[in-house]
Amino acid sequence: MKFRWRLILYFGFAGVVASVVLTLLRMIESDFAFDFFTICGNFLLNALSAYVLTVLVSVVVMHTLIKINRVFPWRKNAVARFCADVIITPLVAMLTMLPLAYLTYYIGLDYVYPDLKKHITNELMTALVVDLILVGIYEGYFFFTLWRKSLIRNEQLEKENMTARYEALKNQINPHFLFNSLNTASALIHEDPNRAEEFIDEFSKIYRFLLEHQGKNLHLLKDELTFVRSFLSLQEIRFGKNLRSTIEVEEYKLKHLIPTLSLQLLVENAIKHNQVTAEKPLSIIIKDEDDMIVVKNTLQPRSESLKSTGIGLNNLNARYEMLASLKPVFLETGKEYVAKLPLIKEE
C-alpha cells in the first residue's frame, strides 16, 4: 500500500470525531460547569488540535509501516512482520505523540483536564488508537489485495493450463498424428505383431494420461517422465534409429513437480522443427541438472520452413510465473537447443 496524502487527510477527521466525543464526555463529567463560550472554545480548539495531531501521527506511522513492509515482508518473515506491527508501530506512534502532547498542554489546548499527567495519558491513548486503526487498514488492504491477486492468478493459471491441455490434445488427435500412428500400427501388425502390440499399448497410455490428469496444474516429475517415455516410444517406432533418446534423472528428484505436459511439449517441438533422417539422426536427452530438468536436442532445422506460433513456450513461461514465480531457460548453443525447466519442490 503506497503512501497517500488524501487518505491521511481524510483520516484526520476520525480524530476530530473522537475529540468531540471525548470533549462531550468531559463536559458531562463536570456537569457543564463552563459558560457557553468556554464550551464552544473547547470543542473548536480540541477538534482542531485532534485533527493536526492525528494527521501528524498518521504520517509517521504510515511511513513506518511502509519501511517495515520493505524490511519484513509477510511472504519472507511473517513472525518478524507481526512483531514489528505490534511493537514498533505503537512505540513510534507514542514517541511521536509525546512531544506534541506536551506542546498542546503548555499552549493551553486542554481546558477540561488541567492535570499534565491526565493530558499526556489521554493523548498517548489516542496515539495508540490511531496506530491500531492505521495498522488494521494497512494490513487489511494488503491481505485484500493479496486475496484479489490470488483469485486473478488462479483464473489466469486455469486459462493457461486449459490452453496447454488443449494444445497437447490437439497435437495428439490432429489428422497427421493419427494418420502416421495408424499407418505405423497397421504396418507393424503384419511385420512384427509384438511391436504392434507394444505400439498400441503406448498409444493408449498417451490418451489415458491426458484423460486422467487433465485437471491438474502440476505433476510429479516421475509421472511426466512416464508419459514422455510413452510418447518417445511411439516416435522411435515411427522414425526407427533416426531418433535417439536418453533419460537420466536422479531418483530423489522424481518427487519434485513440474507443469503438466511441459516435457512432452519440448520433445514434440524438437521433433517438429528438426530433421529426423538417417543422415541426420535426432538426439534428445532429458536429464537433471541442479534444481532443473534439462531437455536438449541436436539443432538441425528442417529445410522446409515450419512457422512457430510460440504459443507452447509462452504458455510454459506464463504457467511457471503463476505457479512458482520461476522462469524456464531456452537457449541455442550452436549445435544444440537446450531447455531448462525449474523443478518445483512439493511443500
pLDDT 10s digits, 145-201: 777 777 777 777 666 666 665 455 445 444 555 666 677 777 778 777 887 888 888
Q: By the 8 A CB rule, do 188 and 346 touch?
A: no
- Provide the pLDDT for residue 230: 86
Q: How many CB atoms are closer than 10 A to CB 44?
A: 11
- Provide the pLDDT for residue 174: 47
Instruction: Tell me: pLDDT of 54 over 80.
Output: no
Q: How confident is the model at residue 328 (pLDDT cuts 50, 70, 90)?
A: very high
Rounded average pLDDT over 224-235 = 88
Lowest mean pLDDT among 82-96, 135-149, 320-334: 135-149
Rounded average pLDDT over 26-48 = 57
- Provide the pLDDT for residue 6: 62
- Cα→Cα distances 342→224, 277, 297, 307, 320, Å: 14, 31, 18, 27, 8
Instruction: Tell me: pLDDT of 82 over 70.
Output: yes
Specify the 3-state DSSP secondary structure of 325: coil
CA–CA dist 52, 100 (Å, integer): 10
Whole-prediction pTM: 0.52
Show the cell assigned to 114.
488541567
**What are the backbone angles phi and psi of residue 298, rounded to the nearest 5°?**
-60, 140
Instruction: Share the mean pLDDT of the chain.
Output: 76
Quick one: CA torsion of 87, 93, 99, 105, rounded to 10 degrees? -120
Residue 10, CA atoms < 13 Å, CB-side half-sphere: 5
Residue pointed to by grid coordinates 460547569: 33
Instruction: Tell me: pLDDT of 3 over 70.
Output: no
Instruction: Tell me: pLDDT of 138 over 50.
Output: yes
Q: How confident is the model at residue 26 (pLDDT cuts 50, 70, 90)?
A: low
Instruction: Tell me: pLDDT of 293 over 90.
Output: yes
- Provide the pLDDT for residue 302: 85
Specify the higher pLDDT residue, 19 or 113. Answer: 19
Quick one: CA torsion of 112, 114, 120, 122, rounded to 10 degrees? -20
Strands 336-342 and 329-332, by their bridges, are: antiparallel
